[in-house]
Structure 1
Amino acid sequence: MTKIELITKEDLEMLRHQILEDLKVFFIPKKKVVKEWMKSGEVRKMLNVSASSLQNMRINGLLKPKKIGGTYYYRTAEVQALFD
């Protein structure tokens, strides 16, 4: 014997909402996590400049990085402010 199950409009509406939520997970891009600090290579890539150009920016005071153990770290907000 087969069991008959009735589907209501409310059931279909709930299914529609569930499918839409599932699709959002797959197709809507996740927000990028913005780092507070960037290394020199990341800054050079973002600004599309050479290592010597980045060094000139440091020397001229355009960027004020922190140097930790031989590596320069730049505030992301400070680098992005160059575009404003």
Structure 2
Amino acid sequence: MPTSIITTDDLREFKMELLDDIKKILSKQSSGTLKKYLKSSEVMEVLQISPGTLQNLRINGTLPYSKMGGIIYYDSDDIQKVMRNNRVHHIEE
């Protein structure tokens, strides 16, 4: 099985892609097309992430969630808060 080395540039690129996807969610919310609570499958579809990535976001506390009756829900307001807290400002040199 070949191994892959993940560099800090790879992680930075992943973060930027994730933030762009969350921005898309927020733009849908502001246009009124996003529901208040999203199920895991909906979050994965909107963010275009795998179940494992979504689980990692839950485990490391990046994305808060609620669990009722075995179903995990994500508050769109929490997604918006994550976006604000992780905003990246690029300074051009």
2:43 alignment counterpart:
43
- Whichever residue aligns with residue 36 of structure 1, its letter is K
- Across the aligned residues of Structure 1 and Structure 2, the Cα RMSD in angstroms comes to 1.7
- Whichever residue aligns with residue 63 of structure 1, its letter is L
State, as a whole percentage, how many aligned pairs show the same letter: 39
Gaps of 5+ in 2: 1-30, 85-93
Q: Which stretches of structure 1, 4 residues or more, deviate above 3 A after TM superposition?
A: 31-34, 80-84
1:70 alignment counterpart:
70
Distance 1:74 1:32 in 2: 17
SS of the residue 1:38 aligns to: strand
- Whichever residue aligns with residue 38 of structure 2, its letter is M
Distance 1:34 1:57 in 2: 20
SS of the residue 2:64 aligns to: coil
- Whichever residue aligns with residue 75 of structure 1, its letter is D
| 1:38 and 1:76 in contact (8 A); partners too | yes
Distance 1:83 1:57 in 2: 13
SS of the residue 1:46 aligns to: helix
Q: How far has the Cα of 1:81 moved from its partner?
A: 4.3
1:58 alignment counterpart:
58
TM-score, normalization: structure 1? 0.55
| 2:63 and 2:82 in contact (8 A); partners too | no
Which of structures 1 and 2 has the bigger CA Rg?
1
SS of the residue 1:45 aligns to: helix
TM-score, normalization: structure 2? 0.50
Q: How far has the Cα of 1:32 moved from its partner?
A: 4.0
Gaps of 5+ in 1: 1-30
CA offsets 1:24-73 (integer angstroms, 9 cap, x no match): xxxxxxx6443210000110011110001000000000111000011100
